[in-house]
């Protein structure tokens, strides 16, 4: 398309660029107004909400916030509307709406907390710390998806990769009584499962969705079988791994609020930071990443310049599966210790949703995974402090939020061009 | 013929019938058909079903790998392997013993109890077959709920949620209102189908209107439906009186599927409904305009759009059919075996259905056979676990391996050193794109 130049003669049709669609600002504003009004209306005007910021016994203590529930809800709702209003001029300039959207979201959550936290205390720092923990396996799973799918292989198999990682991590950690050796074994299990995915996808050209689904069933069956045969027979020997210790990073862990959330965790969480950053840089700033993305977008073109498409895909899938396997270890070594049947409980599918939600980008997937983790943990916290909403509806919350986000704000997503299409060299 | 892309069965037949042979003829025959075979060949393959020999060998291969797992994990084998060098035959016999007893229990638990048959106890002899049919019915219907969207290019992971939601409608009609026998059952089934169709329809609507990806929406709606069912089960109008746990009242007798052979055998009329659904959907897919449109959209959505098909409406239609099938599937439990609605009414059927649809290659009759096979494995697996202590999870391993091997005939052929021929790798889902 040619860009229209200002011309003297008026009968030459100009190619005009349509003004940006106001769909997103409209959605944001109506959400802010509608939900804000509900929260203000529901918040009791005669009760006090308390936000707690201190976790344990921090070096720098932040005083608790105490405020009238309705006034708090009103302030945060107005803030949400202001952020939504800011989206309009930015949208008109075709700018990124990420910051206003984030502002609207955070303000609405705070308004919501002002209502449901009336007459009780909301541990903000604990809420966020728990959210990060719940997001860890999702992030690793989504990174597995990023690597596989950017290279053109659909990865429905994340769930299975997490599960075998959790299993082998626990078993090796238990047999050797060393959590770190278990952590080394977990990615091996993931990679072995990924090897099957890679072989069937790139050598036998089996439909990748089929292989992924089937390997999930295989992972559930195998771990369940071995669990019943060995782990439940002699749990002390097979299923009693030590937990990974918490490592406080000096100085950083003493930052108020952020410190305990980000820098007072076990080694898997730190590995997660490294993995996300490395994958983001490797994919978009290195030759390796360019090649990987090229076989995922246009394998014929990549092949014509001498890139071995199926070999590149093979390696990407195995590497991705190893990352997911590592994340699986979080279920056992990083949180509860012992392995349990089907303990990944659909997290692999949520990771898949985070991957799509994050538009196949490492940072986007990270943000989506954190959102899921937050919604999940919000529900945990609210069920502890007691809330006016039935617990089932709180449990639904993360999933409802996701549907609204996908429908309203993300809309049509575009997968890598050749995602799921086998490459046969002709 | 070593090129795996040119293995269309019809092409082989044509070649054989014309009596032409030699590479030059084959070369002149193949190139022009290659392009069309990728589109129509897939459809033909789906109808033709699978290459029988490769399928049988895939099952054999899966059973062989399963046997290795059973043998390696058997306590007797492990114990006798401890003194392998003193008495090696002990290990061999322990292996033989563990594998044959497990598989014999699996087989008898799926089909027929041979001991009981010898004793002339017909009811006990056919109990396994009754169980297989009972377990198969919801699997077949839920398999259809995944298979039909597959044909339209949609990946429905949401049968689980659609079944949970449908159980609310079907169950409520089943226990809360009174109608004459038969009519009550039909009204209850229709309610379940409507609830399922509504819930699945959301997915199709969102996909058509906003482009929201069906994989995300179905996964999310699964969770939402399960929690919603949990909430409903705690409400006065749904919970059984005098109970604190989440359980509905027992359905009226008038809303239950009749059992064929009294109370001794669980098999009920639901299996007939499942087979009827298979036939109706086969007819819809192959003989009606809607079926043609569904297949066209599934083969190539953008080409279908260019040809004037309203792709969004076809997606919605495919999801509505899927939801109705999921509703029937859960009715097999609500109105058939369980007679109540509980939080666990769906079990894992919605997810098992994905494997069934894949093994059935998205064709209704394929789903029928796949559902019967997996139903048999499930029923047999329970019997095997009860009598030999082999964990039922081995059945999942077998199911996964069978689908995997059938999907990769080239692998099976290379294991058994058979020459190429027959169908090639199946392709159902069309990636993430639309």
Q: Predicted ipTM?
A: 0.82
Asked whether the predicted pLDDT for residue A230 surpasses 70, the reply is yes
* pLDDT at site B31: 36
* A39 Cβ contact list (under 8 Å, min separation 6): A73, A76, A77, A108, A111, A112, A114, A115
pLDDT-derived band at B40, boundaries 50, 70, 90: very low
* pLDDT at site A411: 54
A249-303 tens-digit pLDDT: 888 888 888 888 889 889 999 999 999 999 999 999 999 999 999 999 999 999 9
Q: What are phi and psi of A374, to 5 degrees?
A: -65, -50
Least confident span in A343-352, B383-392, B421-430: B421-430
A199-216 tens-digit pLDDT: 998 988 888 888 888 899
Q: What is the DSSP letter of A118?
A: B
Q: How far apart are CA B397 and CA B62, in angstroms?
A: 8
Asked whether the predicted pLDDT for residue A179 surpasses 50, the reply is yes
Asked whether the predicted pLDDT for residue B419 surpasses 70, the reply is no
Q: How far apart are CA B231 and CA B248, in angstroms?
A: 12
% of residues, chain B, pLDDT over 90: 54
Chain B positions in Cβ-Cβ contact with residue A225 (cut-off 8 Å): 69, 73, 391, 393-394, 396-397
pLDDT-derived band at B51, boundaries 50, 70, 90: low
Q: Do A356 and B426 touch (CB under 8 A)?
A: no
Asked whether the predicted pLDDT for residue B403 surpasses 60, the reply is yes
Chain A positions in Cβ-Cβ contact with residue B218 (cut-off 8 Å): none
Residue A11: count other Cβ atoms within 10 Å of its Cβ.
5
B277-304 tens-digit pLDDT: 999 999 999 999 999 999 999 988 899 9
pTM of the predicted model, to two decimals? Answer: 0.83
* pLDDT at site A140: 97
Q: How far is CA B30 from CA B13, B25, B299, B335, B409, in A?
A: 13, 9, 21, 53, 21
Least confident span in A9-18, A66-75, A84-93: A9-18
| 3-state DSSP assignment of residue A113 | helix
pLDDT-derived band at B219, boundaries 50, 70, 90: confident
Q: How far apart are CA B292 and CA B287, in angstroms?
A: 8
| 3-state DSSP assignment of residue A275 | helix
* pLDDT at site B233: 94
Q: How far apart are CA B107 and CA B222, in angstroms?
A: 34
Asked whether the predicted pLDDT for residue A244 surpasses 70, the reply is yes
For the segment B386-401, the average pLDDT, to the nearest whole number, is: 90
* pLDDT at site A1: 43
Q: How far is CA B145 from CA A18, A220, B226, in A?
A: 42, 23, 18
Q: In what order do the strands lie in the sheet with A65-68?
A: A65-68, A48-52, A121-123
Asked whether the predicted pLDDT for residue A403 surpasses 50, the reply is yes
In A117-157, where does DSSP find H-type helix?
124-150
Q: What is the mean pLDDT of chain B?
A: 83
| 3-state DSSP assignment of residue A68 | strand
Tokens 């064709």 correspond to what residue? B363
Q: What are phi and psi of A266, to 5 degrees?
A: -85, 175
More confident position, A172 or B212? A172
Residue A14: count other Cβ atoms within 10 Å of its Cβ.
10
In B332-363, where does DSSP find H-type helix?
349-359
| C-alpha distance from A91 to closest chain B C-alpha (Å) | 19
* pLDDT at site B87: 84
For the segment A166-188, the average pLDDT, to the nearest whole number, is: 95
pLDDT-derived band at B25, boundaries 50, 70, 90: very low
* pLDDT at site B434: 42
Q: How far apart are CA B427 and CA B420, in angstroms?
A: 19
Tokens 């199946």 correspond to what residue? B426
Q: How far apart are CA A351 and CA A71, in angstroms?
A: 37
Do A340 and A205 touch, CB atoms closer than 8 A?
Answer: no
Residue A35: count other Cβ atoms within 10 Å of its Cβ.
18
Chain-centroid distance of CA A403 in Å reads 15
Least confident span in A61-65, A79-83, B386-390: A61-65
Helix (H) or strand (E) holding B316: helix B311-331
A305-317 tens-digit pLDDT: 999 999 999 999 9
% of residues, chain A, pLDDT over 70: 94
As a whole number of Å, the CA-based R_g of chain B is 24
* pLDDT at site B281: 96
More confident position, B189 or B58? B189
Q: How far is CA B158 from CA B168, B354, B364, B367, B368, in A?
A: 16, 10, 18, 17, 20
| C-alpha distance from A371 to closest chain B C-alpha (Å) | 14
CB contact residues (below 8 A), chain B span 215-244, against chain A: 215-217, 219-221, 223-224, 227-228, 230-231, 234
Cβ-count burial of B107 within 10 angstroms (0-12 exposed, 13-18 middle, 19+ buried)?
middle
**Which residue of chain A is at minimal alpha-carbon distance from B402?**
A214
Residue B59: count other Cβ atoms within 10 Å of its Cβ.
17
Chain A positions in Cβ-Cβ contact with residue B219 (cut-off 8 Å): 346, 349-350, 352-353, 399
Q: How far apart are CA B380 and CA B386, in angstroms?
A: 10
| C-alpha distance from B141 to closest chain A C-alpha (Å) | 19
* A322 Cβ contact list (under 8 Å, min separation 6): A187, A188, A190, A191, A194
Highest mean pLDDT, choosing among A53-67, A98-112, B63-77, B270-284: B270-284
pLDDT-derived band at B425, boundaries 50, 70, 90: very low
Chain-centroid distance of CA B384 in Å reads 21
More confident position, A129 or A11? A129
A334-357 tens-digit pLDDT: 888 899 988 988 899 889 888 888
Q: How far is CA A46 from CA A43, A70, A77, in A?
A: 9, 8, 18
Q: How far apart are CA A332 and CA A137, in angstroms?
A: 11
* pLDDT at site B379: 93
Q: What is the mean pLDDT of chain A?
A: 87
B144-159 tens-digit pLDDT: 999 999 999 898 989 9
Name the residue facing B407 among A207, A226, A352 (closest C-beta): A207
Do B154 and B323 touch, CB atoms closer than 8 A?
Answer: no
B235-251 tens-digit pLDDT: 989 999 888 889 999 99
For the segment A71-94, the average pLDDT, to the nearest whole number, is: 90
More confident position, B142 or B122? B142
* pLDDT at site A345: 84
E strands present in A166-300: 246-248, 264-266
For the segment A217-228, the average pLDDT, to the nearest whole number, is: 93
* pLDDT at site B422: 47
Do B99 and B67 touch, CB atoms closer than 8 A?
Answer: yes
Residues B14-49 as b or e (16 or more Cβ within 10 Å = b):
ebeeeeeeeeeeeeeebeebeeebeeebbbebbebb
CB contact residues (below 8 A), chain B span 292-351, against chain A: none
* pLDDT at site A275: 96
Q: Do A207 and B428 touch (CB under 8 A)?
A: yes
Q: How far apart are CA A370 and CA A136, in angstroms?
A: 8
A18-49 tens-digit pLDDT: 777 787 888 889 989 999 999 999 888 888 88
Asked whether the predicted pLDDT for residue B337 surpasses 60, the reply is yes
Asked whether the predicted pLDDT for residue B46 surpasses 70, the reply is no
Residue A40: count other Cβ atoms within 10 Å of its Cβ.
22
More confident position, B54 or B302? B302
Least confident span in A12-21, B158-167, B205-214, B289-298: A12-21
Angle at CA of residue B196, ends B195 and B198, nearest 5°:
65
Domains of chain B: 4-48 (no CATH), 133-386 (1.10.3470)
For the segment A405-426, the average pLDDT, to the nearest whole number, is: 73
Of B351, B158, B352, nearest to A403 by C-alpha is B158
For the segment B340-352, the average pLDDT, to the nearest whole number, is: 92
Look up residue A114 and give its two tokens: 């002002």
* pLDDT at site B13: 35
Asked whether the predicted pLDDT for residue B315 surpasses 80, the reply is yes
Of B288, B148, B304, nearest to B214 by C-alpha is B148
Q: How far is CA A119 from CA A47, A66, A387, in A?
A: 5, 10, 10
Q: How far apart are CA A96 and CA B149, in angstroms?
A: 36
Q: CB pairs below 8 Å between A and B: how many? A: 170
* pLDDT at site A13: 57
E strands present in A244-391: 246-248, 264-266
Angle (deg, nearest 10), helices A267-285 and A179-202: 30
pLDDT-derived band at A413, boundaries 50, 70, 90: low
Name the residue facing B397 among A207, A222, A392 (closest C-beta): A222
First vs last C-alpha separation in chain A:
33
Of B246, B222, B250, B238, nearest to B323 by C-alpha is B222
**Which residue of chain A is at minimal alpha-carbon distance from B153?**
A209
pLDDT-derived band at A16, boundaries 50, 70, 90: low
Do B293 and B313 touch, CB atoms closer than 8 A?
Answer: no
Q: What are phi and psi of A52, to 5 degrees?
A: -100, 140
E strands present in A21-175: 48-52, 65-68, 121-123
Least confident span in A157-171, B167-181, B418-432: B418-432
* pLDDT at site B211: 81
Q: How far apart are CA A124 and CA A337, in angstroms?
A: 26
Do A194 and A216 touch, CB atoms closer than 8 A?
Answer: no
Tokens 């990270």 correspond to what residue? A366
Residues A310-343 as b or e (16 or more Cβ within 10 Å = b):
bebbbbbbbbbbbbbbbbbbbbbbbbebebbeeb
Q: Do B220 and A403 touch (CB under 8 A)?
A: yes
Q: Do A214 and B358 touch (CB under 8 A)?
A: yes
Do B340 and B247 touch, CB atoms closer than 8 A?
Answer: yes
E strands present in A32-179: 48-52, 65-68, 121-123
pLDDT-derived band at B428, boundaries 50, 70, 90: low
Three-state SS sequence of B112-167:
CCHHHHHCCCHHHHCHHHHHHHHHHHHHHHHHHHHHHHHHCCCCCCCHHHHHHHHH
Of B391, B155, B352, B42, nearest to A214 by C-alpha is B352
* pLDDT at site A409: 58
pLDDT-derived band at B24, boundaries 50, 70, 90: very low
Asked whether the predicted pLDDT for residue A166 surpasses 70, the reply is yes
* pLDDT at site B37: 38
């Amino acid at each position: 398309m040619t860009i229209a130049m200002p011309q003297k003669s008026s009968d030459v049709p100009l190619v005009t660029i349509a003004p940006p669609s106001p769909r997103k600002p409209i959605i944001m504003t109506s959400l802010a107004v509608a939900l804000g009004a509900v929260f203000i209306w529901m918040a009791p005007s005669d009760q006090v909400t308390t936000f707690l910021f201190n976790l344990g016994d921090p070096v720098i203590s932040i005083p608790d916030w105490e405020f009238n529930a309705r006034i708090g809800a009103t302030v945060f709702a107005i803030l949400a509307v202001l952020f939504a209003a800011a989206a309009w001029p930015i949208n008109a300039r075709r700018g990124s709406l990420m910051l206003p959207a984030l502002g609207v979201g955070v303000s609405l959550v705070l308004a919501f907390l002002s209502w449901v936290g009336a007459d009780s205390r909301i541990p903000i720092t604990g809420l966020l710390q728990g959210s990060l923990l719940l997001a860890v396996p999702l992030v690793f799973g989504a990174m597995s998806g990023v690597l596989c799918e950017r290279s053109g292989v659909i990865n429905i198999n994340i769930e299975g990769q997490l599960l075998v990682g959790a299993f082998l991590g626990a078993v090796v950690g238990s047999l050797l009584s060393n959590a770190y050796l278990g952590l080394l074994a977990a990615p091996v299990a993931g990679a072995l499962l990924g090897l099957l995915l890679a072989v069937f996808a790139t050598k036998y050209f089996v439909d990748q969705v089929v292989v992924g689904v089937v390997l999930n069933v295989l992972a559930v069956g195998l771990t369940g079988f071995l669990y019943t045969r060995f782990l439940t027979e002699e749990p002390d020997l097979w299923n009693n791994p030590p937990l990974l210790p918490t490592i406080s990073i000096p100085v950083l862990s003493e930052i108020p609020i952020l410190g305990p959330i980000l820098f007072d965790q076990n080694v898997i969480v730190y590995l997660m930071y490294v993995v996300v950053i490395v994958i983001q840089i490797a994919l978009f700033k290195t030759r390796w990443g360019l090649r990987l993305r090229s076989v995922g977008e246009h394998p014929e073109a990549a092949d014509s310049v001498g890139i071995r498409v199926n070999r590149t895909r093979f390696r990407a899938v195995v590497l991705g599966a190893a990352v997911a396997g590592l994340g699986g270890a979080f279920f056992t070594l990083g949180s509860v210790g012992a392995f349990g049947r089907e303990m990944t409980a659909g997290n692999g599918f949520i990771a898949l949703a985070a991957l799509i939600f994050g538009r196949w980008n490492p940072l986007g997937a990270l943000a989506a995974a954190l959102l899921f983790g937050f919604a999940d943990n919000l529900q945990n916290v609210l069920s502890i402090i007691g809330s006016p909403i039935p617990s089932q509806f709180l449990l639904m919350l993360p999933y409802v939020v996701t549907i609204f986000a996908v429908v309203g704000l993300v809309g049509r997503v575009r997968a890598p061009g050749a995602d799921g299409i086998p490459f046969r060299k002709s | 013929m070593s090129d795996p892309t040119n293995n269309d069965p019809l092409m082989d037949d044509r070649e054989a019938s014309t009596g032409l042979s030699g590479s030059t003829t084959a070369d002149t025959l193949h190139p022009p058909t290659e392009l069309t075979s990728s589109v129509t060949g897939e459809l033909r393959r789906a109808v033709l079903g699978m290459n029988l020999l490769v399928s049988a060998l895939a099952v054999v291969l899966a059973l062989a790998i399963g046997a290795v797992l059973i043998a390696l994990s058997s306590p007797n084998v492990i114990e006798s392997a401890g003194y392998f060098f003193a008495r090696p035959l002990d290990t061999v016999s322990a292996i033989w013993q563990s594998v044959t007893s497990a598989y014999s229990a699996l087989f008898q638990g799926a089909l027929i109890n041979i001991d009981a048959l010898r004793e002339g106890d017909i009811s006990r002899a056919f109990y396994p077959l009754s169980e297989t049919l009972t377990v198969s019915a919801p699997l077949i219907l839920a398999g259809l709920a995944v298979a039909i969207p597959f044909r339209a290019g949609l990946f429905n992971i949401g049968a689980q949620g659609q079944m949970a939601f449908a159980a609310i409608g079907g169950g409520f009609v089943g226990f809360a209102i009174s109608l004459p026998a038969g009519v009550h059952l039909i009204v209850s089934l229709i309610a379940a189908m409507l609830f399922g169709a509504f819930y699945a329809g959301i997915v199709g609507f969102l996909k058509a209107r906003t482009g929201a990806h069906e994989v995300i929406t179905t996964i999310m709606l699964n969770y939402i439906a399960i929690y919603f069912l949990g909430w409903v089960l705690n409400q006065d109008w749904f919970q059984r009186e005098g109970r604190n746990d989440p359980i509905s009242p027992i359905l009226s007798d008038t809303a239950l599927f009749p059992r064929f052979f009294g109370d001794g055998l669980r098999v009920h009329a639901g299996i007939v409904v499942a087979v009827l659904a298979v036939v109706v959907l086969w007819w819809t897919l192959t003989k009606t305009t809607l079926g043609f449109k569904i297949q066209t959209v599934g083969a190539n959505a953008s080409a279908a759009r260019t040809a004037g098909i309203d792709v969004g409406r076809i997606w919605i239609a495919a999801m509505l059919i899927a939801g109705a099938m999921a509703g029937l599937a859960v009715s097999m439990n609500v109105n058939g075996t369980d007679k109540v609605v509980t939080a666990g009414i769906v079990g894992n059927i919605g997810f098992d259905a994905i494997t069934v649809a894949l093994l059935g290659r998205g064709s209704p009759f394929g789903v029928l056979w796949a559902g019967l096979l997996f139903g048999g494995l499930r029923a047999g697996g329970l019997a095997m676990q009860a009598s030999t202590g082999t964990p039922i999870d081995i059945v999942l391993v077998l199911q996964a391996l069978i689908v995997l091997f059938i999907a990769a005939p080239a692998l099976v052929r290379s294991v058994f050193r058979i020459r190429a021929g027959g169908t090639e790798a199946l392709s159902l889902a069309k990636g993430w794109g639309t």
